[in-house]
Structure 1
Amino acid sequence: MISSFGKREYHPWWLPWLFTLSFILITFLPRSIDDTMFMDGVTYAAIARNMAQGIGSFWRPFFAHSFWLPYDNGDYFSGHPPLQFGLQSLLFSVFGDTPAVENGYNLLVLIGYIILITKIWQKLVGPNSEFRTFGWLPVLCWYGIAIVYYSIPNNFLDSTMGLFCLASSYFQLIYLKKEIDRKSTVVWPLLAGVCLVLAFLTKGPVGLYPLAFSGIYAISAHSARFSNAFRPTIIMLVIIILSIAGILAYTPARKFMTNYFYGQVMQALLQKREKAGTGWIAHLTLVSELLRSLYPHFIACAALHGLSFGLKWKISPSKMISENTVLTLLVAASGIIPMLVSIKQYPHYLLPALPFVALFFAFLLVQRFALLMAWKKQLTIIGLSIATLACWGATFQKLTTIQPDIYSANAKQLRTLVPSASTIGVCHDLFQRADIHANLQRYHRLSLTTQIDSVHYVLGDSTCLPQFDSTHDSLVALNGGYFLVIRSAAQGHH
């Protein structure tokens, strides 16, 4: 019965890390230099850029004079709290209006996740565990989730919020581990509470789920007492309450948060905003998306368990493994289950909980990975080396086959045709295209209107071509079947 592996070297410690980071590069590097992001991330970058240029402010973020969603089309953007916009605006102030800002920000977020996931792993396994050097495994499990490698380069608010949630959990873990040794300090719960406030100011109440972390730890760890979890939880609650009170005491902040709460939170709960579907099944969208993204993890578990069965390895999970498997599973559930109340669900909403999903699978896999590496050390080194080279080859192949994004390319082409910060017309059927709004604002500060008779420039496609006078209006072909109409006679155009 194998329950402990003893101290042994499985491989050069840096080789699995080299493979893991090379694997991350396959998707992250090409997506960081192609000027292509999901429209949410482009929109957030545009808001941050505007803020840096003095257009709008922290508590009155400004996107454009037009918006594709009717319930966010006010004097300023109140669809989400403004912290990420403020943070990115600082980078725009330093580096100027360049896509390198949002891409560099995504890189900082990625590095933050890698560091925190590794630190939490090391803290959970303990200082003397032979599994301490396997910090690369939860990082690999994390970035191996399709939702993660799609979302991290996309400048989502959920990425930033999730980073603050992870930091809060880490600070609580430091406190709880020290509590056992009677060397605890109140600094860690204070920092954990501050991180929860920052998570809340990034994307609202869903960022508060790590409030449950200390309690879950007390439930899952036999060496911890529930009373140990009470103190940090109370401290975090006090920090949150005081912070919210301070925010509400400041009039601009109170107005913003009121608009946000009634326009976003309440409307989502009342099913009056975007919907993942209809009926009770819509509440389970996140669960189905999660399971769909975890096929590689299930396959890896099945393969390693099958291999160990075939080789007659009898592995008994240690107390540490068992406790941490329960802990990470429950923490992940605490981040996902509350969101199932609403039917406004998108896959990237899972981002804050996914580090704990990754840690859960890493604890399921680590004993068999360790035994496999110790059993065939030379084969492991050869396999990891080949896999690393394959990652580099895949990255190079992606870099040489980047396809230009239609919407960002059109926005950049319009720089030579339309004055910056103009309001241009758009054919009625195109007004709901979020990618058009986001990219035109991000790359040329253009707003849109369907009142095409009052503007000099109109963006259209073939379906609205008959509306224009081809004998007088000029047509400029753009990418993707779009064109710009330069009208010869417009009344009151901008």
Structure 2
Amino acid sequence: MSHVINYRLNQFSWAVAAIMFLPLLFTKGMFLDGLTYASIARNLNEGMGSFWIPSYTPYIHPEFYEHPPFSFALHSVFYRLFGDQAWVDRIYAYTMYGLSVLMIRRIWALFTPSVHRAWIPQLLWTLTPTVIWSHQNNLLEAPLSAAILCVVWLLIEGTLKRNYIWSALGGLVFFIALGIKGPVALFPLMTLPIMAVLYPEHRRAALISMLLMVLSFSVLFSYYYTYEINFSTFFNSYLNKQLFPTLLGNREQSGDALSSLIEITKQLALPMIVFLILRIRSGRVYVLRRESIFFFVLAICGSLPFLLMDRQHHYYFMPSMVYWMLGFAMLLEQSPYPWSIQRKKWVKVLSLTNLSLWLVGAVLSIYFSKSPSRDKHMIRAIEQIARNYPSQSVRIEAIEDSWELCAIGARYGKVYFTENTDVALYLVSETVAVPSNYVLVDTFNKFPMMLYKKTALE
């Protein structure tokens, strides 16, 4: 009976994901960064920019060096398959979620014979707020997390099973992970050193795996840097325009270590509460086994560097969250309670709950498809401009104060904003006076800006 219940709980973990993700599937509106990445991927599919020189808009980052291009290229494949639809962006991110879950389950199976309880880390990770938010908003952390999990799985698989071809493949996937968001993907390098310390019986295998992983990565990187001119150009531009200025504190500065520690604590609240409740209810001591220590140390390696940076956001910690959850899951699964309960009614309750969650998620996805999930009036204003003035650029006063507007314009209407005064259209706040050679051509419902058009030279 306990295996039947765990089977239903495995289904429940997917049903929870459905209720979290399906309602927003067909809606427009995402966080600024997700819209930006979606526009770049769409442009890449349509021939605007190239793999090593992606492009955002003709006026903002016409050559985009803020992040490496691997995720944009993969995302563009989804546009090639499904066309330029708003839901493609979330289909891409949700696919990355599925790949991450697959890797979580593969890693889980390497450390415990309780394969049927793989739903525990999956459910804990799925219910982590920053995980939900990152996938809903198409952030780079979604594909980054999937790639890093794949690297960790390949390295552990190659080491524990002495099949070093997996370790060499880990170097190739590590190259892809770095190609998604740069140095934030470095912490999987600590996987094998941590394993060598905690698992002395695998120390020699871990060393061989590490050498093969570094060798395969180095060969691949050296080849591209030596023979692919566009790669070396992009790499140098990325270092000089984005990475070094960020590390030196010359870019955006936000957040601090204390607020980030508080944020991490919030993300870990669920597993800690569950652990305390089960500890009290079961009446037995949970042993901190080396499996949990392994994942906790790896999670610290993925979280700690961000606490030392000038720019900190909660979603930066998302790729490391899965290792916290795996550590807690290893703690939770060691006790028979409550996973071995023998109650037939639980099977029926879980079956009905799973079906209900899927149905509610599907119904909500249809219901919410009628309206954007955020920035509703801004999106409708952009669509109105795109409909009435297709393929025309629009002037605004200050781009640095209108990043969200620029992102929505680029993604949902191919309306590109600029501060140049030589374009005919001019979008301005209702309270701002405009020059006499502009005439009002459009207003918007519940959007406090007005569109003017230049009629003559000043």
| TM-score, normalising length: structure 2 | 0.91
8 Å contact kept, 2:279–2:285: no
The partner residue of 2:246 within 254, 265, 268 is 268
**Aligned AA (1:425):** R
Aligned to 1:77: 64
Distance change in 2, residues 1:315/1:342 (3 Å): closer
8 Å Cα contact 1:459/1:482 also seen in 2: no
Q: Which has the higher mean CA deviation after the structures are superposed, 255-264 or 476-485?
A: 476-485
Match of 2:325 in 1: 358
- TM-aligned CA distance change 1:110 to 1:316, over 3 Å: closer
Please state how far the C-alpha of 1:393 moved relative to its aligned partner: 7.0
Q: 2:382 aligns with which of 397, 405, 411?
A: 411
* Equivalent residue for 1:294, pick from 268, 275, 278: 268
Which of 40, 43, 46 is the aligned partner of 1:50?
Answer: 43
Whether 1:134 and 2:127 are equivalent positions in the alignment is no
Partner Cα separation in structure 2 for residue 202 and residue 343 of structure 1: 21
Q: Say yes or no: does 1:111 pair with 2:111.
A: no
Task: For residue 374 of structure 1, give the secondary structure of its aligned residue in structure 2.
Answer: coil
Correspondence for 2:150:
167
1:156 aligns with 2:139: yes
Output the TM-score relative to the length of structure 1. 0.85
**Matches for 1:308-327 after TM superposition, within 5 Å:** 308-309=282-283, 314-315=284-285, 317=287, 322-327=289-294
Map 1:174-323 → 2, pairs under 5 A: 174-178=157-161, 184-221=162-199, 224-249=201-226, 250-277=228-255, 282-309=256-283, 314-315=284-285, 317=287, 322-323=289-290
| CA distance in 2: counterparts of 1:294 and 1:386, whole angstroms | 29
* Contact 1:211–1:236 (Cα < 8 Å) also in 2: no
The 8 Å contact of residues 286 and 334 in structure 2, kept in 1 or not, is answered as no
Give me the whole-angstrom Cα distance separating, in 1, the residues matched to 2:438 and 2:306: 54
Contact 1:22 1:391 in 2 (8 A): yes
The answer to whether residue 449 in structure 2 is matched with residue 483 in structure 1 is: yes
The 8 Å contact of residues 11 and 377 in structure 1, kept in 2 or not, is answered as: no
Distance 1:239 1:410, change over 3 A: farther
Provide the C-alpha distance between the structure 1 equivalents of 2:364 and 2:445, rounded to a whole number of angstroms. Answer: 22
| Correspondence for 2:31 among 34, 38, 46 | 38
After the TM superposition, which of the residue ranges 209-218 and 135-144 deviates more from structure 2?
A: 209-218
Give the Cα–Cα distance (whole angstroms) in 1 for the partners of residues 289 and 346 of structure 2: 26
**C-alpha separation between the residues in 1 aligned to 2:265 and 2:363?**
29
Report the AA paired with residue 205 of structure 1. Answer: P
- Structure 1 stretch 11-20 or stretch 82-91: which is displaced more? 11-20
Q: Secondary structure at the match of 2:340?
A: helix
Q: Per the alignment, do residues 112 and 480 of structure 1 end up closer, same or farther by CA in structure 2, a change over 3 Å counting?
A: farther
Task: Find the residue that maps to 1:118 and give its secondary structure.
Answer: helix
1:42 deviation in Å? 1.0
Does the 8 Å contact 1:24/1:143 carry over to 2?
yes
Deviation, structure 1 residue 344: 1.3
Q: Indicate the residue corresponding to 2:340 in structure 1.
A: 374
Instruction: Give aligned pairs, total.
Output: 452
1:481 aligns to what SS in structure 2? coil
Q: Which one of the candidate residues 397, 400, 408 is aligned to 1:427?
A: 397
Distance in 2 (CA, whole Å) between partners of 1:479 and 1:235 is 60
Match of 1:457 in 2: 425
Render the CA deviation track for 1:113-160: whole Å, top value 9, x for unaligned. Answer: 1111111111110xxx3x220011100010111000111122211211
Task: Report how far residue 461 of structure 1 moved.
Answer: 2.5
Output the amino acid matched with 1:325: S
Deviations 1:166-223 (A, max 9, x none): 0011111111221xxxxx232111111111100011111111211111111122235x
Identity within the alignment, %: 24
Q: Mean Cα displacement is larger for which, 207-216 or 384-393?
A: 384-393
The corresponding residue for 1:395 is 361
What is the CA distance between 1:48 and its match in structure 2? Answer: 1.1
Taking structure 1 as reference, are residues 345 and 9 closer, same or farther at Cα in structure 2, changes over 3 Å only? same
2:170 aligned partner, one-letter code:
A
Paired with 1:392 and 1:97, the residues of 2 have a C-alpha distance of 27
Task: For residue 475 of structure 1, report the CA deviation from its aligned partner.
Answer: 4.3
> Is 2:32 the counterpart of 1:64?
no
Q: 80, 86, 91: which one pairs with 1:99? A: 86
Query: How far apart are residue 427 of structure 1 and its match?
Result: 3.1
